[in-house]
Every structure is written in structure tokens, then in C-alpha cells.
Structure 1
Amino acid sequence: MAVESVVVRQRVEDLDAAVPFYEKLAGSTASRFAFAGVDLASVGPFLLFAGPDEAVQRVAGVTATLAVADLNAAVEEAKAGGADVVMPIQPTPNGRRAVLRHPYGGVFEYVGP
């Protein structure tokens, strides 16, 4: 398994106010979408999210998003190394994802085909 990129996750109180700052910082335009009651904006290496506390808690506990070339293989390899599956592979608006707790503590979202 090779991690192709890492996305930093950041909760913000006001997504509309935060997006211009991160667009300038990243030098790219935000792609906005909603998922599981949370409003999100992907801007370069940042994933900004906002929403009601109850909905945000579902995504706030994840340290970062790891993009991988083969999601099935990455999940199996992580499990073989001692990771626990918090959320199995499932479809999302922009691909597939799984959430795993690494054996040394971090909780990471894996995304990929």
C-alpha cells in the first residue's frame, strides 16, 4: 500500500467565510459538497467541514484522509498490520471510503477506487 496523498481535515464554524482564505492559501478553487449532514469544501490539501455538532462528530474524530490507489488492498494490508475497521468500505459522493483505527492510535479515512 502506498499513500498517494494526505488531506488535512479542519472543522470551521463558518464555511463560507473560511473558503476564500484556504483558496488563497492553496492556490486552488474549492469544490463544495455535502455528506451525512455536513457541509464540506475540498481546497487543495484541505478538507474543511461545518455543520451541527451531532453531524460533525461523525467526521471530526478522523485525523486525516489518506488517498490510496487500491482501497480494497489498502484496507486489507492495514488490517493485517493490526488496524481495526471503524467503518467498512462504502460509496461516497466522490469515490469510496473506509475508516480505520491504526494500531498505534490514529483514526484515518482511506479513500480510493
Structure 2
Amino acid sequence: MAIEAVVLRQRVEDLDAAVPFYEKLTGSTASRFAFAGVSLASVGPFLLFSGPDEAAQRVAGVAATLAVADLDAAVEEAVAAGAAVVAPASPTPNGHRAVLRHPCGGVFEYVGP
């Protein structure tokens, strides 16, 4: 398994106010979408999100998003190495995702085709 990119998650109070700063910082245009009760913006290596506390806490409970070339293979390898599946692979607005708890306790979202 090779991790192709890491996306940092950042909760913000006002998504509309935060996006221009991150667009300027990264030189990227934000891609906005909604998922699991929160509003999100993907800007370069950042995933900004805002929403009601309960929904935002579920998103904030994941340390980072790890992009992989083969999601099924990555999940299989991580589980074989001791990770536990928190949420199995499922479709999202940006591809497919699975959430795993690593043996050390960290929770990570894996995304890929």
C-alpha cells in the first residue's frame, strides 16, 4: 500500500470566510460539497469543514484523510497489519472511502477509487 497524499482536516466557524485564505495560501480553487451533515471545502491539501457540533465532531474525530490508489487493497493490508474497520468502504461525493482505526488508536479516512 502506498499513501499518495495526506489531506489535513480543519474545522472552521465560517466556511465562506475561511475559503479565500486557503485558496490564496495554496493557489488552489476550493471544491465545495456537503457530507454527513457538514459543509466542506477541499482546497489543496486542506479539507475545511463547518456545521453543527454533533455532525462536525464526527468529521473532526478523524485525524486525516489518506489518498490511496487502490482502496480495497489498502484496507485489506491495513487490517492484516492490525487496523480495525470503523466504517467500511462506501461511495461519497469524492469517490470511495473507508474509516480505519490504526493499532495505536488513531482514526484515519482512506479514500480512493
- Which category describes the TM-score, using the shorter chain as reference length? over 0.9
Where structure 1 has 5 or more consecutive residues not aligned to the other structure, the ranges are none
Q: What one-letter code is carried by the residue in structure 2 that aligns with 1:89? A: A
The 1-side partners of 2:67 and 2:49 are apart by 18
Aligned length in residues: 113
RMSD: 0.6
Tell me which residue corresponds to 2:27: 27
Tell me which residue corresponds to 2:39: 39
The 2-side partners of 1:59 and 1:89 are apart by 16
Q: Deviations over 1:13-39 (max 9, x none)?
A: 000000000001111110000001100
Tell me which residue corresponds to 1:82: 82
The 2-side partners of 1:25 and 1:107 are apart by 27
Structure 1 moving runs of 4+ over 2 Å: none
Matched, 1:50 2:44: no
> TM-score w.r.t. structure 1 length?
0.98
Q: Report how far residue 106 of structure 1 moved.
A: 1.1
The 2-side partners of 1:26 and 1:40 are apart by 16
Percent identical among aligned pairs is 85
Q: Secondary structure at the match of 2:48?
A: strand
Q: Report how far residue 104 of structure 1 moved.
A: 1.2
Q: Report how far residue 105 of structure 1 moved.
A: 1.9
Matched, 1:105 2:108: no
Where structure 2 has 5 or more consecutive residues not aligned to the other structure, the ranges are none
The 2-side partners of 1:58 and 1:93 are apart by 17
Matched, 1:9 2:9: yes
The 2-side partners of 1:77 and 1:4 are apart by 15
